[in-house]
Amino acid sequence: MERVLVTGAGGFIGHHLVKFLKKHGYWVRGVDRKHPEFEKTSDDDFKISDLRESKNCMKACKRIDYVYQLAADMGGIGYITEYHAPVTRNNALINLHMLEAAHTNNVKKYLFTSSACIYPQYLQNKADAKALKEEDAYPADAEPGYGWEKLFAELASQYYRQDYGLKTYIVRFHNIFGPQGTYEGGREKSPAAICRKIALAKDGDAITIWGDGKQTRSYCYIDDCVEGIYRLIQSDYHNPMNLGQGRLVTIDELVEIVAKIAGKTITKNHDISKPLGVMGRNADISLAKKVLGWEPKVLLEKGLEITYRWIEAQLLKTGRL
């Protein structure tokens, strides 16, 4: 049985990935600073560990064939725009120590999870911005803190492949969402935040939306995400690859879709004093289609319905509905 390490296994994507890999017959070790928040872990071996420390990375990689490096200090736009220094420091330490540990322990394959935040801000200053291709990353102008560190870690991963022969893979996530993810507290992404706000609102209420509502994004459902990750590490493609959904929607449209799911009429109060991120971001996934034969199968509306019902159930459990 092949042995897999998933770092960040206590987080949203990591938890779903562990379940996926277990169903595919792998022995899985999960490592994180916390257990999954909403479900019991299904890992064969789960370790609470701080991967900012080299010794912990070395221990995590022992007797491991494949590494999925998802561990990161991250959150929604409010979080990553407020904490540039700690986010950069924490993620740089994790990523450098994990690469060295994988190389030292002769790991066969190493997948690094990057982000659409690496793409130049000058290409994303309009709501109707063109879909981003992998080669658009340079000339670089990444988002401060989080985006620059991700771009640096991409390069470090490529250097370890070039210099040491470590088979590295790089995936760039574009707004992954779904159930089992953080939906409050400041680290949540926009789909979860909107689902929570609408679930808590009464029919006819107003909710606060960050920005003018015209900023655009594309959103990829978690089941499609983990399928894409798995296909990538099975391939022979080692350059960065987008993983997302090519359908662009405005934040106002996202609110309207969720309100329809909830069966509520919702008014929007736009707060332009809050962090907005880039004005427009969309994923060109033609490379993933060509190389992996992969494209998202779950429609945005279906994914949002599943996510909304799950968040609604969590709020009911805690007595807030």
3-state secondary structure of 242: strand
* pLDDT given at position 48: 97
Beta strand segments in the chain, E: 3-7, 27-32, 45-48, 66-69, 109-115, 167-173, 176-177, 206-210, 216-217, 220-221, 241-243, 249-250, 267-271
Is residue 68 annotated as part of the catalytic site, yes or no? no
| Nearest-angstrom CA–CA distance, 75 and 25 | 31
Lowest mean pLDDT among 148-162, 191-205, 272-286: 272-286
pLDDT at 186 over 90: no
136, 174 contact by CB (below 8 A): no
Specify the pLDDT at position 242.
98
The CATH class of 182-218+248-279+299-317 is alpha beta
Structure tokens at 116: 């659409």
Determine the pLDDT at residue 19: 97
The pLDDT assigned to 276 comes to: 81
**Distance (Å, rounded) from C-alpha 152 to C-alpha 91?**
10
Q: Regarding beta strands 249-250 and 216-217, do their DSSP bridges make them parallel or antiparallel, or are they unpaired?
A: antiparallel
Contact status, residue 102 vs residue 166, Cβ threshold 8 Å: yes
- Mapping DSSP to helix (H, G, I), strand (E, B) and coil, where does residue 286 land? helix
Return d(Cα 45, Cα 165) in angstroms, integer: 28
Higher pLDDT, 134 or 186: 134
Q: One of 146, 183, 219, 221 is an active-site residue; which one?
A: 146
Distance separating alpha carbons of residues 32 and 48, to the nearest angstrom: 5
Residue 130, token pair as written in the block: 């063109």
Residue 13 binned pLDDT confidence (cut-offs 50, 70, 90): very high
As a whole number of angstroms, the distance between CA 71 and CA 13 comes to: 10
Sorted by sequence, the CB contacts under 8 Å of residue 23 that are 6+ apart come out as: none
Give the tens place of pLDDT for each residue, 202-243: 999 999 999 999 999 999 999 999 999 999 999 999 999 999
> What would the DSSP string read from start to end of 7-59?
ETTTSHHHHHHHHHHHHTT-EEEEEESS--SSS----SEEEE--TTSHHHHHH
Q: Could you tell me the residue ranges of all domains in the chain?
A: 3-176+219-243, 182-218+248-279+299-317
Domain 3-176+219-243: CATH architecture, name and number where available: 3-Layer(aba) Sandwich (3.40)
Task: Tell me what pLDDT residue 77 has.
Answer: 87
Predicted confidence at residue 187, as pLDDT, reads 86
Contact 198, 259 (CB under 8 A): yes
Q: What pTM does this model have? A: 0.96
Altogether, the residues listed in the chain come to a count of 321
Closest C-alpha to 243, from 29, 28, 17, 78 = 17
Whole-number Cα distances in Å, 195 to 21, 51, 219, 260, 280 = 28, 32, 14, 11, 21
Domains 3-176+219-243 and 182-218+248-279+299-317 share a fold: no
Residue 281 predicted with pLDDT over 90: yes
31-64 pLDDT, tens digit each: 999 999 999 888 899 999 999 999 999 999 999 9
Which distant-in-sequence residues (6+ apart) come within 8 Å of 287 by Cβ?
A: 133, 134, 241, 242
Nearest to 190 by CA among 171, 204, 176, 179: 176
